[in-house]
A and B are shown apart, each in its own frame.
Chain A
Amino acid sequence: MKKAISNEDLMRYLDDEMPADERKELEEHLRHSTELQRKLTIYQALRTDLRNSNFYPANYRRSAWDQVGAKLTKRIGWVLLIVGWIILTAYGAYFFLADPEESSWEKWGAGLLWVGVLALLISVIRERYKESKTDPYKDVLR
């Protein structure tokens, strides 16, 4: 027997994390040391008790996917909606502004109207976003 057995060695032996040669050496120590046998038995019993216990919340019903799936899909929906809207708006604005038949008054009027609508929309979205971050009931199913 070469070296003394540390508590960490005992844990590695107990958890089957020891190479075969070290394992053999520790078993040799075990044969000669009742103190080591006592320690090992204690931790083996503790491990068995823990493994035999079930710390599972009693009233939990599996539902994570309902919430997770909804959140992931919602995000994708928003991204697609915003991208589509930006493309269409840019396309329409380009043709409208480039059209020589429209007067500059009409172009300015329509432009300001759109900027106003956009500013209001952004402020509403920002408010809703802030609310959703602090709303304690956001995940309650309606």
Chain B
Amino acid sequence: MKVDLERELIHKCKAGQTRFYEPLVRAYEPSGIRLAFVLLGNINDAQDALQEAFIKAYRSLSQFDLERSFGPWFFQILRNQCRDMLRDRKSHVSLEELNQEDLKITANIEAGPERDYECNATAEQLWKGLRRIGEEHREILILKELEGFRYAELASILNIPKGTVASRLYHARRALREILLGLRVKTEHE
């Protein structure tokens, strides 16, 4: 969504015109549900977290600085909501037990059937790897690699100094790589 349009919509929402919130909800729903799903591990909790985050964001719009971008601000609310849910509801569903049918492990790229199979297999391995790394590592990897946030935005979403982002990303990537190596070794032995 274009920044100007986004600002205009937020401006109208701030004036109490609820209907102008709909395009924002629709624009951020796909990436929001993916983040919540990966963090919480099940679709029902992810939907609840997403709805609650949208409502909290709307109610806090009066404090929103129009010079900022809505995306990182909203993702910060969503990430906090997911963390609260994990803590409060103890809905820390073991990601190991996650129903595979809930997940669409597909490649984002168009390719032939053979390449497709290869990409889907890689995606499945990555999902398994993401299940095993810590919450802190999982969230930064998803926000960086799938949502494409810059370091300054990541720092604001995760509430950490900008200088810490590179270090946390390094540890997250290393942890994921080590787990993937372990998984590959295990697969080769089977």
Contact = CB atoms under 8 A, between A and B. Distances in A.
Interface residues of A, number: 35
A11 interface: yes
Nearest to A53: B123
Contacts of A67: 51
Contacts of B22: 65, 69
B167 interface: yes
A135 to B, nearest CB: 13
A42 interface: yes
Interface in B85-126: 101-109, 119, 122-123, 126
Chain B interface size, under 10 / 10 to 19 / 20 to 34 / 35 or more = 35 or more
Interface in A68-82: 68-69, 71-73, 76
Interface string B135-152: 000000110111000110
A10 interface: yes
B75 interface: no
B25 A55 contact: no
A55 B37 contact: yes
Q: Is the interface of B mostly helix, strand, loop or mixed?
A: helix
B25 A64 contact: yes
Contacts of B29: 62, 64-65
B105 A139 contact: no
A58 B101 contact: yes
Contacts of B64: none
Given A12-B166, A68-B51, A72-B58, A56 B104 contact: yes
B69 interface: no
B37 to A, nearest CB: 5
Given A43-B177, A47-B145, A62-B29, 6 more contacts: A11-B169, A43-B173, A52-B108, A55-B105, A68-B25, A68-B51
